[in-house]
């Protein structure tokens, strides 16, 4: 007993409609995931840039501290030398 051709086509149309709904849902989920990824990547790059800026600030501060210590040592020696005279 074969299914009449019209009933077969109606069943196929219904199956196609269901598959299209599933594809649409999957495409929306995929688009949302892409946007989330782009947001995360943007945040990561900003964080990396901020980190690099902070690293440079720390390096600069360390160099300034070293220079201040050297200057302090030099000034201390000058004071000691002047007191000896």
> Taking CA 26 as the corner, what is the angle to CA 21 and CA 30, rounded to the nearest 5 degrees?
150
Question: In the numeric block, which tokens belong to residue 49?
Answer: 């840039």
Confidence (pTM) = 0.62
| Token pair 């599933």 in the structure block, residue | 22
pLDDT, tens digit, 9 for 90 and up, residues 28-77: 999 999 999 999 999 999 999 999 999 999 999 999 999 999 999 999 99
Alpha carbons 25 and 19: distance in angstroms, whole number: 10
Predicted confidence band at 2 (pLDDT cuts at 50, 70, 90)? low
**CA dist 84 to 12, 27, 75, 80, Å?**
106, 85, 14, 6
């Amino acid at each position: 007993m074969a299914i009449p051709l019209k009933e077969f086509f109606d069943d196929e149309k219904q199956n196609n409609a269901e598959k299209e709904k599933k594809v649409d849902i999957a495409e929306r989920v995929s688009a949302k995931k892409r946007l989330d990824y782009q947001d995360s990547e943007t945040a990561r790059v900003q964080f990396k840039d901020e980190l690099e800026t902070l690293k440079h600030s720390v390096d600069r501060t360390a160099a300034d501290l070293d220079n201040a210590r050297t200057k302090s040592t030099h000034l201390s020696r000058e004071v000691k030398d002047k007191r000896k005279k």
